[in-house]
Structure 1
Amino acid sequence: MISKDALFALSLFPYLGFLWFISRSQQMPRLALYGFYGTLVFVGVTIPAGIYAKVHYGKALANVDWLHGGAEVFLTLANILIVLGFWQAVKQLKQKIATEKNHL
């Protein structure tokens, strides 16, 4: 059976592929793209924070509140960027449709 750490590490490869494809897409809202990259930053912060929690406190990251909360801030910011990016794109599309209707 595969360990959760190995599965986590392996899951980075499909995500990196996802980032590669959406980075080349002209349809991905720029702010949402930054959010998806921010998720990668979250992973980059979480790994050393988890190691620190284990070495310094002898506990899992989830059990060291100040470290866990600090790492989760990056995920929260990334999610906010994703939502705002898609919200902005939907708003622009609605404005474009309304403008086209007015010109008919």
Structure 2
Amino acid sequence: MRFDPAPVFAVSLIPYFFFLYWLRKSKALPILAQRGFQLTLLFVAVTIAAAIVASSCCNAQLVDIDVLHGGAEAFLTLANTVLVIGLLADHQQKE
């Protein structure tokens, strides 16, 4: 029996949206750090699109197509970089 993780993945986005909403309302992090967390959703969207392209065009999984996989992972790097810059900028302001 094969398990399809797609429904679990879709449901996991719900708490993440609540987290982003709480983050915005609480102002617990600087806006740039919040943007880093929001950019994670862009990474998810790009990864899904890249996986669809890999499946439909190349009849392969995303991990098998280096250009698509690397391109999608670049968005995670972008999100993490924005998050860290936002946290560092906030830390430097508090010093």
**TM-score under structure 2 normalisation?**
0.91
SS where residue 43 of structure 1 aligns?
Answer: helix
The structure 1 segments of at least 4 consecutive aligned residues displaced by more than 6 Å after TM superposition are none
Q: Whole-Å Cα distance in 1 between the matches of residues 60 and 87 of structure 2?
A: 37
Gaps of 5+ in 1: 95-104
Higher alpha-carbon Rg: 1
Shift of 1:29: 0.9
SS where residue 8 of structure 1 aligns?
Answer: helix
Shift of 1:53: 0.5
SS where residue 92 of structure 1 aligns?
Answer: helix
Shift of 1:93: 1.1
1:12 matched residue in structure 2: 13
Q: Whole-Å Cα distance in 1 between the matches of residues 43 and 20 of structure 2?
A: 14
SS where residue 3 of structure 1 aligns?
Answer: coil
Question: Does residue 91 of structure 2 align to residue 90 of structure 1?
Answer: yes
1:39 matched residue in structure 2: 40
**TM-score under structure 1 normalisation?**
0.83
Paired residues in the alignment total 94
Gaps of 5+ in 2: none
SS where residue 36 of structure 2 aligns?
Answer: helix
Q: Whole-Å Cα distance in 1 between the matches of residues 21 and 6 of structure 2?
A: 23
Q: Whole-Å Cα distance in 1 between the matches of residues 28 and 12 of structure 2?
A: 25
Counterpart residue identity of residue 60, structure 1: Q
Aligned alpha-carbon RMSD (Å): 1.4
Q: Whole-Å Cα distance in 2 between the matches of residues 66 and 26 of structure 1?
A: 37
Question: How much identity, in percent, do the aligned residues show?
Answer: 44
2:62 matched residue in structure 1: 61
Q: Whole-Å Cα distance in 2 between the matches of residues 57 and 24 of structure 1?
A: 43
